[in-house]
């Protein structure tokens, strides 16, 4: 049903699964002996986070944060508003922020600075997708799944008008859907 709106698949379910296993293995190794706090950024991160934590052979805690960007090009400060904060005190904790995509980098730039201010012991970024061409702030993922071109992509957490997040792959919508 959903697939009829997709022009082409960019990253298949199998490719994502393979890559998630690789990232999970890397995190398992890099965080050995620690109990990181996995921070999901609502809502896009949910499918990736759910798969990723099940590939991490570690004690982990999970918490979620919801933020929204203020406007767009009019606001150059990249200010971000907290809609839902974490329930966890992050002071002294090792944080792994999980995202579906880094585009301008504003969301994660804000969160990294916030968690440093709150005295996290370490803050790393894991993103399924990275769109380097979209970047307006200097921000790099510590772990990423795939680079994507500067196109509007949906699926595996990414939405168009809150829909298509539950597609099991990443794809490009048919133009008639958003025209
Ligand atoms: C999207 C995406 C990232 C962010 C990336 O979230 O899921 O969180 O934008 O953009 P940036 O790098 O330019 O900040 P959105 O705000 O659309 O919320 P959603 O996750 O609920 O879709
Ligand atoms: Mn998001
Ligand atoms: Mg969105």
Question: For 37-57, how does the pLDDT look when each residue is reduced to its tens digit (9 = 90+)?
Answer: 999 999 999 999 999 999 999
Whether residue 60 contacts residue 117, with contact meaning beta carbons closer than 8 Å, is answered with: no
Q: Pick the residue whose CA is nearest to atom 3 on ligand 1.
A: 101
The finding on whether 107 has its CB within 6 A of some atom of ligand 1 is: yes
Q: How far apart are CA 16 and CA 170, in angstroms?
A: 9
Active site residue 94: no
Q: Would the pTM of this model clear 0.90, i.e. be above it?
A: yes
pLDDT at 179: 83
Residue found by looking up tokens 């805690």 in the block: 61
Is 13-149 a CATH 3.40.50.2020 domain?
A: yes
The finding on whether 99 has its CB within 6 A of some atom of ligand 1 is: yes
Q: How far apart are CA 88 and CA 166, in angstroms?
A: 28
Q: How far apart are CA 89 and CA 112, in angstroms?
A: 15
Sketch the domain layout of the chain as residue ranges.
13-149
Burial (Cβ within 10 Å: 0-12, 13-18, ≥19) of residue 68 = exposed
């Amino acid at each position: 049903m959903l697939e009829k709106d997709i022009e082409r698949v960019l990253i298949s379910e199998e490719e994502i699964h393979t890559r998630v296993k690789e990232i999970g293995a890397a995190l398992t190794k890099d965080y050995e002996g620690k109990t990181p706090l996995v921070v999901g950024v609502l809502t896009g991160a949910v499918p990736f986070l759910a798969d990723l934590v099940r590939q991490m052979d570690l004690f982990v805690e999970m918490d979620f944060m919801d933020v929204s960007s203020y406007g767009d090009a009019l606001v150059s400060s990249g200010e971000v508003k907290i809609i839902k904060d974490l329930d966890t005190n992050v002071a002294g904790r090792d944080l792994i922020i999980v995202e579906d995509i880094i585009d301008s980098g504003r969301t994660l730039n804000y969160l990294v600075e916030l968690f440093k201010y709150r005295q996290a012991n370490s803050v790393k970024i894991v993103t399924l997708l990275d769109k380097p061409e979209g970047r307006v702030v200097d921000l790099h993922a510590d772990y990423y799944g795939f680079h994507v071109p500067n196109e509007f992509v949906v699926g595996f957490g990414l939405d168009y008008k809150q829909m298509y997040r539950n597609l099991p792959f990443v794809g490009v919508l048919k133009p008639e859907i958003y025209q």
